[in-house]
Amino acid sequence: MKVGGDAPISVQSMTTTKTANVDATLEQIYALAAAGADIVRCTCNEQAAAEGLAQIVPRSPVPIVADIHFHVEMALAALEAGVHGLRLNPGNLRKPEEIKLVASEARDRGVPIRIGVNAGSLHPDIYERFGGATPEALVESARIELAYFEEVGFSDVKISVKASSVATMIAAYRLASETFEHPLHLGVTEAGPLPGGLLKGTAGIATLLAEGIGDTLRYSLTADPVEEARAGRQLLEALGLRERKGLDLIACPSCGRAEVDVIKVANEAQAALAELKLPIQVAVMGCVVNGPGEARHADLGIAAGKKRGHLFIQGQIIRVVPEDEMVAALVEEAKKIAAEGVAARLAARDLGAEAEAAADRALLLDAKGTDVNHAAARIEQIRHRTQS
């Protein structure tokens, strides 16, 4: 898969299995691909792992990158295994002659390399010179590695300058974007478990993507790697950087106007609709007064009224259903939209549904409730003061 230039921003993740366990690793690779991963990285830390890669690469649905840390032999073995890319950590593989050897072999095979700088494993000399893992230190590490590559005429390079500090990561990538012309791989390293890790990863990655920085990304979560792939894909879809592949469920945060448990209905709808694997945006709204209008951009939605729901397509009411059938109605209509299209479903709408919905909205608007704020008396006082 092409990375950089006009290519779509890609999502990466990494297997957590032992690479030598070919079947388990392939099972995880297929799960990652199904969740949205475009590229998958596998550890190559021993001979058995390299031999496993030789069997994994031809059976993988996505390109495979070998992750190399300390041993030049493993980088060369991974190339022999036929991997589509390498990731080298310049803080760990430090000898210039070994770095240039790997670059030469990759050059001759047409295999790209990612210079994977990590704030936690900077070369001690660079760490000391810059007084820590500063943005400047991270970029300098990548610059030195790139210079070794250039000595042997190798330029098929991606660069990452990751840190666990979101602020450091953002500053480092901004500097890298000004320093290098190569594609940048984004990530907040060691972000941690959910939900905090997801928040940190999104804070860093989304900030940079919104600035036009970044060509490929990975969420580094202490979780099932499928969560990384899913998060990456959803982020790109939310930013409009990739076409939607699956469900996008939007829902109001609920308020005192809600006539149902919006959180419960939204969760049930999310679970039921996600199984359909349709590229559709669905809205769950707690109030029929504002819901259909606020979510008129959604392909499909439902808004709750008095013991029933208003089913709508792109803001137009098509049916009124009982409250306990709202989720089932969403699922049924989603399937029909996929099979028949939006225009056909709008043409098949219940012609009396809009009048029913209007009556429900009117009832809610007319319901004043108890005047706990003594509004009538307060209004009289306001009038008295403004007219005197």
- Which whole number is the average pLDDT over 4-12? 96
pLDDT at 257: 62
Give the start-to-end residue ranges of the domains of the chain. 10-238, 248-366
pLDDT at 374: 62
Please state, for a pLDDT cut of 70, what percent of the chain lies above it: 96
Could you confirm whether domain 10-238 is CATH 3.20.20.20?
yes
pLDDT at 65: 98
Cβ atoms of 3 and 63 closer than 8 Å? no
3-state secondary structure the chain: CCCCCCCCCEEEEECCCCCCCHHHHHHHHHHHHHHCCCEEEEECCCHHHHHHHHHHHHHCCCCEEEEECCCHHHHHHHHHHCCCEEEECCCCCCCHHHHHHHHHHHHHHCCCEEEEEEHHHCCHHHHHHHCCCCHHHHHHHHHHHHHHHHHCCCCCEEEEEEECCHHHHHHHHHHHHHHCCCCEEECECCCECCCHHHHHHHHHHHHHHHCCCCCEEECCECCCHHHHHHHHHHHHHHCCCCCCCCCEEEECCCCCCCCCCHHHHHHHHHHHHHCCCCCCEEEEECCCCCHHHHCCCCCEEEEECCCEEEEEECCEEEEEEEHHHHHHHHHHHHHHHHHHCHHHHHHCCCCCHHHHHHHHHHHHHHCCCCCCCCHHHHHHHHHHHHHC
pLDDT at 12: 98
Residues β-bridged to residue 192: 221
Q: Residues in the chain, how many?
A: 388
pLDDT at 385: 79
The structure tokens 């008129």 sit at: 296
pLDDT at 207: 98
Query: Average model confidence (pLDDT) for the chain?
Result: 92
pLDDT at 92 exceeding the cut of 50: yes
- Which whole number is the average pLDDT over 179-196? 97
Whole-angstrom distance, CA of residue 215 vs CA of residue 3: 6
**Main-chain dihedrals φ then ψ at residue 87, nearest 5 degrees:** -120, 120
One-letter amino acid at 217 equals: L
pLDDT at 130 exceeding the cut of 70: yes
Pick the more confident residue, 93 or 176. 176
Nearest 10 degrees: CA dihedral of 119, 120, 125, 130?
Answer: 40
- Minimal CA–CA distance to 160: which of 48, 14, 316? 14
Whole-angstrom distance, CA of residue 322 vs CA of residue 352: 15
- Minimal CA–CA distance to 161: which of 221, 114, 230? 114
Least confident of 110-114, 245-249, 313-317, 344-348: 245-249
What tokens does 213 get?
């920085």
pLDDT at 372: 46
- Cβ neighbour number for residue 282 with a 10 Å cutoff: 25
Chain segment 289-332, per-residue pLDDT in tens: 777 778 888 999 998 877 889 999 999 999 999 989 999 999 99
Q: How confident is the model at residue 370 (pLDDT cuts 50, 70, 90)?
A: very low
Cβ atoms of 262 and 286 closer than 8 Å? yes
Chain segment 26-47, per-residue pLDDT in tens: 999 999 999 999 999 999 999 9
Pick the CATH number of 248-366 from 3.30.413.10, 3.40.710.10, 3.20.20.140, 3.30.365.10: 3.30.413.10
What tokens does 111 get?
């295999």
